Structure 1
Amino acid sequence: MSLDWDIQEATIDRVHQAYRDRTATVRDVVQAYLDRIATLDAAGPHLNSVITVSTTALDEADALDRAFASTGELSGPLHGVTVLVKDQATTAGLRTTFGNENAAHYVPEQDATAISKLKAAGAIILGKTTMPDFATSWFSTSSISGVTKNPYDLTRDPGGSSSGTGTAIAANLALVGIGEDTGGSIRLPASFCNLVGFRATPGMISRTGMSPLVVPQDTAGPMTRTVTDAAKLLDVLVGYDPTDDYTTVARHRRHAPSFEDSIKDATTEGKRIGLLRSAFGDPADPDGAEVNTVIDAALTQLAIAGAELVDVEIPDLDHYVSFTSLYFTRSRNDMNAYFAEHPEIGIASVDEVRRTGTYDRHLDLFEGITDGPEDPRTDSQYLDRVLAREEFARIVTALFVERALDAVVFPDVRLPAPTHDDVLGGRWTCLTYPTNTVIASQLHFPAVSIPAGFTTNGLPVGLEIMSTRFEETTLLQLARGIEQVLDARRAPTLPIPASSEADAR
């Protein structure tokens, strides 16, 4: 049997229906995506988003096909769903580099908990995606993979640090993807690549087997082309893991319906949404004005659809975002602790990486981290920063209560995707780049990026939707409602060699 429909923009439901109708096998779907990776990522426009391709994916597909032929039942909620995973999560038998050349030959023996859950649900890990060294950038530059291209404009960056997942899922190289988000590393590339990118409350998804950056802020999460597919992934990923004590927060889900069921009748009508105007782009900057135009047009559509929009302010927002950042205070300790616990990786410490210069030299955040204290408690301001974060969260939660808000929205980033020249030329430092994704991250709030539209030169813009801790269901419901109103997801147009068109389907 061969695939008789175009794999582009396929959804989990569509692929599952094809399996049930026997119009496609798992092998057909896996092969179609492997062909697209070969045609678009390794060749053609050379997107450079997939760093390692599974050599067992077709065998796994065959096993699923045999089981389905025998039972007539799908093996789980993600039966035959192809997943591309940020190279920050360990994958048994499949190389994991953490974006750094020192781990170029590291092949883990165990899966990260999130990967184990995906596999148990029937998913096939198709490969690993590019990322900057140790996830220390808003951009894609990496000592092991170089630069990844944005599929909407090959001269531009896809954002980071889940760079490869953003590009790959946008370009239809797999059904769904997994990223990781500490300060915005799921949502920023989702914004630049016209995707749905979901950041859960830290601890809702286990981080065991994923290299850390700031442990209290770290979370894995879905990067998909639809909200429904993101909900399906969250239903599998969210839950308690005894090896990650942060996941005790999953108790908040104990009486909740599935995420997928919760969004079936989603709407924006009657939803009360706060507009954080202070997080919009600079109207005097042409690029910032372009982002504002797209967001304002999206908000107009939401108002027409029945949403109640109210302007809100977060007092001293810039101060709190700056002062509660822990990258230069805590990350060195968290990263070194991880590598000390896993000597098999072959990285003694990030200090050693810095000393030997075996990292991409554009990563000023990495350099700042390694200049930080070995123990954050020796920083005289560490306690004040932690207490300020708690205060920040109370202030913003009070805003939600007092204004009776379902969510607060703003652009994920105040600018569209930067050019590679901007990134490599050092136009910004990591901490001066105007991303708003750090707001939810440092609040430890969940947030989701939804495609809002495109600038006049065809660059995607994402709308960030933020709610308070453990409000994942509320976020997904609103995201699904907004998705239906805006309908802003569009596949990129990529140059495919004429001889390869059939293979790319």
Structure 2
Amino acid sequence: MQINGRPLELSDVAALRAAQLSGATTARRIVDAYLDRIAAFDASGPTLNAMVTVNPAAREQAELADRKLAAGEPVGPLHGIPVVVKDCLDTADLPTSFGSEIFADYRPSADASVVRKLRDAGAIVIGKTTLPDWATSWFSYSSRSGTTRNPFDLDRDPGGSSSGTGAAVAAGFATVGLGTDCGGSVRLPASFCNLVGVRSTPGIISRAGCNPLVGVQDTIGPMTRTVEDAVRLFTVMAGFDPADQLTYAYSVARAPVSYLDSLRPDALVGQRVGVLRSAFGSNDNEHARPVNEVTEDALTQLVAAGAELVDIEIDDLRGWTERTSMYTIKSKYDIDTWLAGLTGAPAKSVDEIIRSKRYHKKLDLLEALAAGPDDPFSDLSYHRAYSAREDFMKLLVNLMESENVRALVYPTCQVVPPTRKDTDSGLWNTLNFPTNTVIASQSWLPSITVPAGLTGSGLPVGLEILARPYDEPTMFAVAHGFEQVASHRHLPSNTPVSA
């Protein structure tokens, strides 16, 4: 299917919406085309295994959107746009499993706040996507769905925990997708699947209707092929929500009416950007060397966009990320509290899940957090980590201020997407994997990953851009400015474009 001379799989929200408004296509035709790709490539062909559930009512919902448009009714900014949603975000019309076989048939009574907002804006949820149990891994291991394959290299993992959304959007199963990000679960799979992925300052977007991992750190964000599409979804989802107390942050942010106003093609001209050299892996490491090569090329492209780069070092960066980690301290309490409040939940605690043995046995973090304190507030390690988080944020922001840089950039992950052999063998686990996404997560700062290019063997590499608290406009501006000079949009050869 072609949209204004471009394959559907490379078409963005604006183009699809314009094509519907002009009568060049319909929401039903768009949904049909995406469903055809899911049928061809998810359970068949390369068998990506990115989808948990395909919405049986998607065609009917698309036809309703077409009727509304034909009747001259008002249409939203995402009218007729198919979206895939990570299966830990509540959907009243589809099961929500949280990646767990225990919850395979669980049906929430209402949509998550972000899902409701997308639907109110006209989007069509075409299906739910895979994730590891309770979003507790950098990799795609799930008791509900098994493993998901990276469409750029079928022998490699797409990254976690928003594994299915990353693989699905990259393969062209929907225009855009939603993931959740506590330590990097939007940005890591976005980096590994050649996508844009966004982590907001916590509280800019409501988390109501989503399972927690570390409640004070959790976010929900878009995963898209372009910065502009990410900003379109972000603008729809952002806002105060009485169901999530952390959204007080939205008023503190003094958010613009539309974050699209941040997107200027010349945003980097004359601007200073810090390169966080401490976040690069060693060139002696065969897994890190290709990432460094692509990142250095991306830095050259930043300069071509008009930026002035400033090298910045942080002593003991790894120590900072270790001291600010709260998974094994706080996650058990947050998940237990949330499960206890679910009506009809088939399990009520992490301990119950572990005792059942009905979880994927490669989920080392799930086992580790199960050993955490029942009451973290009585545990000094929690208060130390919380205090260190504040110090880490101050360190990063003060560095940006003292060096007069708008943002910091670095590789989203120090290494290329791991092979299944590597993850199965235990070369990497959740607590030792060298992802840089934890820098923003554990300082509660906003960041975005954008495609930086492909390695010589065709593996995607992401460039992460970190900004000050509540300064999503700058984050988007830098990302968009880079994208205008160095667009690295590719469809994987394992899922070729349609005719």
Q: Classify the TM-score, shorter chain.
A: over 0.9
Give matches, 1:34-53, under 5 Å: 34-53=35-54
**1:431 alignment partner, SS class:** coil
Note closer, same or farther for the CA distance 1:266–1:345 as it changes in structure 2 (3 Å cut).
farther
CA distance in 1, matches of 2:452, 2:262: 22
Partner of 1:83: 83
Whether the 8 Å contact between 1:266 and 1:478 is mirrored in structure 2 is no
**2:318 alignment partner, SS class:** helix
CA distance in 2, matches of 1:470, 1:29: 35
CA distance in 2, matches of 1:480, 1:265: 7
Whether the 8 Å contact between 2:279 and 2:317 is mirrored in structure 1 is no
**2:314 alignment partner, SS class:** coil
Partner of 1:460: 460
Matched, 1:372 2:372: yes
Note closer, same or farther for the CA distance 1:428–1:69 as it changes in structure 2 (3 Å cut).
same
Partner of 2:275: 275
CA distance in 1, matches of 2:265, 2:293: 29
Matched, 1:26 2:27: yes
Matched, 1:192 2:205: no
Whether the 8 Å contact between 2:265 and 2:484 is mirrored in structure 1 is no
CA distance in 1, matches of 2:344, 2:196: 35
Give matches, 1:37-436, under 5 Å: 37-71=38-72, 75-254=75-254, 256-436=256-436
Whether the 8 Å contact between 2:3 and 2:19 is mirrored in structure 1 is no
Whether the 8 Å contact between 2:85 and 2:129 is mirrored in structure 1 is yes
**1:48 alignment partner, SS class:** coil
TM-score, normalisation: structure 2: 0.97
CA distance in 1, matches of 2:181, 2:266: 25
Q: Deviations over 1:182-239 (max 9, x none)?
A: 0000000011000000000110000000000000110000000000000100110000
CA distance in 1, matches of 2:388, 2:316: 12
Whether the 8 Å contact between 1:148 and 1:157 is mirrored in structure 2 is yes
**2:380 alignment partner, SS class:** coil
User: Which AA in structure 2 matches 1:29?
Assistant: I
Note closer, same or farther for the CA distance 1:296–1:265 as it changes in structure 2 (3 Å cut).
closer
User: Which AA in structure 1 matches 2:305?
Assistant: A
**2:442 alignment partner, SS class:** helix
Partner of 2:451: 451
CA distance in 2, matches of 1:215, 1:266: 37
Note closer, same or farther for the CA distance 1:57–1:375 as it changes in structure 2 (3 Å cut).
same
Q: Deviations over 1:60-102 (max 9, x none)?
A: 111111111010x651011011110001100011011000000
Mind listing any 5+ residue stretches in structure 1 that lack a counterpart?
A: none
CA distance in 1, matches of 2:158, 2:356: 28
Q: Deviations over 1:140-186 (max 9, x none)?
A: 01001001000000000000000000000001100000000000000
C-alpha displacement of 1:315:
3.5
Matched, 1:487 2:481: no
CA distance in 2, matches of 1:264, 1:120: 28
C-alpha displacement of 1:10:
1.2
Whether the 8 Å contact between 1:2 and 1:28 is mirrored in structure 2 is no
Whether the 8 Å contact between 2:301 and 2:482 is mirrored in structure 1 is no
CA distance in 2, matches of 1:445, 1:254: 16
C-alpha displacement of 1:253:
4.4
User: Which AA in structure 1 matches 2:352?
Assistant: E
Note closer, same or farther for the CA distance 1:199–1:266 as it changes in structure 2 (3 Å cut).
farther
Whether the 8 Å contact between 2:264 and 2:481 is mirrored in structure 1 is no
Equivalent pairs counted in the alignment come to 498
User: Which AA in structure 2 matches 1:413?
Assistant: C
CA distance in 1, matches of 2:457, 2:75: 44
CA distance in 2, matches of 1:317, 1:186: 22
C-alpha displacement of 1:255:
5.8
Percent of matched pairs sharing the same residue: 47
Note closer, same or farther for the CA distance 1:2–1:417 as it changes in structure 2 (3 Å cut).
closer
C-alpha displacement of 1:373:
0.8
Whether the 8 Å contact between 2:412 and 2:462 is mirrored in structure 1 is yes
**1:31 alignment partner, SS class:** helix
User: Which AA in structure 2 matches 1:189?
Assistant: P
Whether the 8 Å contact between 2:31 and 2:58 is mirrored in structure 1 is yes
CA distance in 2, matches of 1:222, 1:2: 24
C-alpha displacement of 1:314:
2.3
Partner of 2:18: 17
The worse-fitting range, judged by mean Cα deviation, of 220-229 and 263-272 is 263-272
C-alpha displacement of 1:58:
1.0
CA distance in 1, matches of 2:163, 2:77: 27
C-alpha displacement of 1:317:
1.9
**1:164 alignment partner, SS class:** helix
The worse-fitting range, judged by mean Cα deviation, of 380-389 and 457-466 is 380-389
Q: Deviations over 1:370-394 (max 9, x none)?
A: 0111111232322111111111111
CA distance in 1, matches of 2:35, 2:171: 13
CA distance in 2, matches of 1:468, 1:346: 41
C-alpha displacement of 1:4:
8.7
C-alpha displacement of 1:266:
4.5
C-alpha displacement of 1:486:
1.3
User: Which AA in structure 2 matches 1:366?
Assistant: L
